[in-house]
Amino acid sequence: MNVPYLDLPAQIRSIRPALDAAIARTLDTCSFCLGPDVVQFEKAFAAYVGSKHCIGFNSGTSALHVAMRILDIGPGDEVITTPFTFIATSWAIDYVGAKPVYVDIDEQTMNLDVRLLEKAITIRTKAVMPVHLFGHPFDVDPVLEICRRHGLPLVEDAAQAHGATYKGKTVGAFGVMSGFSFYPGKNLGACGEGGALLTDRSDFAKRAASLREHGSSVRYFHDEVGYNYRMEGIQGAVLNVKLPHMGEWTARRRAIAHRYHALLAGTPLVLPREAPNCESVFHLYVARHPKRDQLKEFLQAKGIGTALHYPKTLHLQKCFEKLGYKAGDFPVSERAADGCISLPVFPQMTDEQVDYVAAMICEFKGW
Ligand SMILES: *Cc1c(COP(=O)(O)O)cnc(C)c1O
């Protein structure tokens, strides 16, 4: 049997006629940059998250960058985040000239360890931006409580967590702003790049709309330095087709994760578990073991694709040498980077495929 790490063609096949029709309509109207499809998607996605405003972007990175601009964060400022995530969270901070300040992660959820948060706050801290990593919510309430106590805005990086819930409420509506990504491999993916900024504040929404469009709300009049960060019309059309499937796709991801959990419970792998009050959307199914390289190779030989998220923590990346961190500064993150292995999880995956992956892991003797 063959189990690809991600079978995007299978997802596209499952909705192909609707995608073809939606893209054809955009070709007919030629509304390629923003336009009615994007507006329709913004309304629908805001409702999906439970936020007042959604502003469509050309990527999740752009949305997070603009969130930093809206908070007027700049040189000399610090923003707290974690070193165990995709690097884009830190790009947003670096792009405005501010410094990412890292806090280590919780051993179980691999999200920001709330117990370490307060110690990282300084006079220069301007915001806290944790990540709902792998689709699992970070511990929102204690983070919000600390933010409130210090008068700091919370920005959620929800790029991997479309539809995840914390205490029954969808993530992305807890902070003053949140950023989502619609990169093709994300739980909700465009046919190309895409992202969104969500907020309840209409002043932030207005500024986000202006910053994504050359710092302009009236054409050819520019209030501040902006960007070309618009969402493409075709991506809006594609996302409108895909959004209604999210309930079914997320349920399937969760079922696959629970099936893995039952089948792999007896193995030496450390399995991802949901924290109380949290429903993960399992963007990724990341297990951990020190022998993951050997396991990865073994599974490869059995026709099973796996991936590493993420093999190198951000504080040890070459580009962030300037931050002055060193190996050993964030031991839980570093251990996670050394031990992580992502198993296939995508909505079109069959039970037979899940069973095969689990059976092959049980066959591995190199622990
Ligand atoms: C994907 C991702 C982003 C960036 O999104 P893009 O749309 O690829 O720019 C930001 N943060 C996290 C955690 C991500 O996984």
Separation between Cα atoms, residue 155 and residue 127, nearest integer Å: 7
Each residue's pLDDT tens digit, 201-226? 999 999 999 999 999 999 999 999 99
Burial of 154 (0-12, 13-18, 19+ CB in 10 A): buried
Each residue's pLDDT tens digit, 17-54? 999 999 999 999 999 999 999 999 999 999 999 999 99
Average pLDDT, the chain: 98
Dist. CA 265 → ligand 1 center (Å): 31
Q: Is 189 in the pocket of ligand 1 (CB under 6 A)?
A: no
pLDDT band of residue 4 (cuts 50, 70, 90) is: very high
Domains of the chain: 8-103+111-244 (3.40.640.10), 245-363 (3.90.1150.10)
Q: What angle is formed at CA 247 by the lines to CA 243 and CA 249, rounded to 5 degrees?
A: 85
Dist. CA 86 → ligand 1 center (Å): 7
Burial 109-131 (b: 16+ CB within 10 A, else e): bbbbbbebbeebbeeebbbbbbb
The Cβ-side half-sphere exposure at 191, using a 13 Å CA radius, reads: 20
| Residue linked to tokens 């029709």 | 21
pLDDT band of residue 367 (cuts 50, 70, 90) is: very high
Task: Provide mean pLDDT across the span 287-309.
Answer: 98
Each residue's pLDDT tens digit, 78-130? 999 999 999 999 999 999 999 999 999 999 999 999 999 999 999 999 999 99
Separation between Cα atoms, residue 60 and residue 76, nearest integer Å: 24
Dihedral sign of CA atoms 132, 133, 136, 141 in order: negative
- Which tokens sit at 226? 């902006």
**Which pLDDT does position 70 carry in this prediction?**
98
Dist. CA 43 → ligand 1 center (Å): 21
**Which pLDDT does position 55 carry in this prediction?**
98
Task: Provide mean pLDDT across the span 290-310.
Answer: 98
CA–chain centroid gap for 96, Å, is 20
**Which pLDDT does position 50 carry in this prediction?**
98
At 17, the amino acid letter reads P
Q: Alpha carbon of 189 to those of 31, 110, 180, 301: distances in Å?
A: 20, 23, 10, 29
**Which pLDDT does position 5 carry in this prediction?**
98
Q: Which atom of ligand 1 is nearest to the CA of 186?
A: 1
Q: Is 86 in the pocket of ligand 1 (CB under 6 A)?
A: yes
Percent of the chain predicted with pLDDT > 70 = 100
Q: Among candidates 198, 187, 309, 173, which has minimal Cα distance to 209? A: 198
**Which pLDDT does position 37 carry in this prediction?**
98
Q: Is 313 in the pocket of ligand 1 (CB under 6 A)?
A: no
Separation between Cα atoms, residue 82 and residue 102, nearest integer Å: 5
pLDDT band of residue 243 (cuts 50, 70, 90) is: very high
CA–chain centroid gap for 160, Å, is 2
Is residue 69 a contact partner of residue 79, using CB atoms and an 8 Å limit?
no
Q: What is the dihedral of CA 14, 16, 19, 25, to 10 degrees?
A: -150
> For a pocket test of ligand 1, which of 57, 91, 160 has the largest count of ligand atoms closer than 8 A to its C-beta?
160
Separation between Cα atoms, residue 108 and residue 288, nearest integer Å: 11
Which long-range contacts (C-beta less than 8 Å, at least 24 apart) are formed by 318-324?
Answer: 320/90, 320/100, 323/99, 323/100
**Which pLDDT does position 159 carry in this prediction?**
98
Dist. CA 254 → ligand 1 center (Å): 21
Q: 100: part of which helix (H) or strand (E)?
A: strand 99-102
Q: Among candidates 97, 103, 38, 112, which has minimal Cα distance to 65? A: 97
Dist. CA 182 → ligand 1 center (Å): 8
Strand residues in 176-321 grouped as ranges (E): 177-181, 195-199, 278-279, 285-288
Q: Is 88 in the pocket of ligand 1 (CB under 6 A)?
A: yes
